[in-house]
Structure formats: structure tokens, C-alpha cells
Amino acid sequence: MKKTLLMITLMMSLCFNSFSQFHIDSFYVNKTEFLMYSVVQEFDSLSQDQLNIKIKNWAGTNFTNMKEVLVSETKEQLVFNYITESFYIKTLGMATYKNWYIRMVVQIKDNKIKISIYDDGNCFWPGSYSGGVSVPSVSARTYKFQDYFGKKGTCMKMYNGGLENVHNSCIKFSNNLINTIKNQTKVQSDF
């Protein structure tokens, strides 16, 4: 009886996993621009300058070195280029994490921000040699996440969890910024 229940459970999980592949249309909001996530948030009575300061305060606590990640800055827009460690490839039950560049554009108006998160390509992956097999290095920004999706728009099972993880981390990161702005009571530009 236990063996039968185990077999039924195993078969059901295999069936579920084979049909729950992540689709490219669920991953990208705009495939041609590699836009993965976008959200607009309104705030009560916050000026463009106040929002700009709050976003920089958030970035200062969420990035090790904000000056390295802030790649463009105007009054209307802040652009951050950072590395995520949330993408992984699963083979033989083991996850291999691959670092990936993410570009986050925050557009700012009075009482409103728009957060757009883009796939900016892979980080440099060093080559390796093991068991007589040589794997060459991969230059940075050689691949985009779209390269992990097949012709029908679905990804292979080994990429599914990693791609879902990246997508969820983009949403979580954006929500973190929005919640931080909402919860900051006093804007300080200098001390």
C-alpha cells in the first residue's frame, strides 16, 4: 500500500512538473526590449525631489556601493545596473547559480514613480576543465534570459525554477522600493 501511494505521488509530481514550464510571455512584459517587469506607483503629496531622495536612500541601503550601481542620474530618472544571484540551472538535483546583470530604471514625477526592470545579460562566466572536458569562458552580456526559452516559448525544466526565481525577485525588489518610500516618514537630504 505504501509503495502504491509513493508511486502515485511520484507520478503526479512528474506530471505536474512536466506541464508547469515557465513561458516567455509570463517572463517578459516586452520581449524586444527585454523588459521583465514594470510597475507605476502613486504617492500622496511627494514632490519629484523628495521621491528622488527617498529612492537614493533606499538604494544606499540595498546596494553595497550605490555609486557603482547608479549608472545614470537625472532629475526625472535614476538608472541602476546591478548583479542578481537569483538565476540558477538545476541538473541532477543540484542548482548551479549564474550571476546576471539587471537594469532597473526608475522614472520620477511629482507624486509618482515608474519602475522598469530589464534583462541586461549574463555576467562573465569563467571556463573550467574537469575530467578531460574543457568548458570555455563566456563573455559578459553574451546571453539574455530569452535564450533559455525554446521555439514554442517554454523553457526546459532545468531552467524553470531559476527563471521563476529571477522573475519573483524583480517583483520583490520593486515592492521593497515602493514600501520603503511609503514607510519613510521624513526626507533628509543632508544631516
- For residue 188, the model assigns a pLDDT of 54
Pair 111, 122: CB distance under 8 Å: no
Report whether pLDDT(4) > 70. no
Task: Name the average pLDDT for the chain.
Answer: 87
Pair 112, 181: CB distance under 8 Å: no
Cβ partners under 8 Å of residue 191, min gap 6: none
Report whether pLDDT(16) > 80. no
Report whether pLDDT(138) > 80. yes
Report whether pLDDT(185) > 80. no
Q: Domains (ranges, CATH) in the chain?
A: 34-183 (3.30.530.80)
Pair 97, 83: CB distance under 8 Å: no
Instruction: Quick: pLDDT tens for 71-93.
Output: 999 999 999 999 999 999 998 88
**E-only strand ranges, the chain:** 35-42, 70-73, 77-91, 94-109, 112-122, 128-130, 133-135
- For residue 11, the model assigns a pLDDT of 45
At 10 the three-state DSSP class reads: helix
Angle between helices 48-62 and 157-183 (to 10 degrees): 130
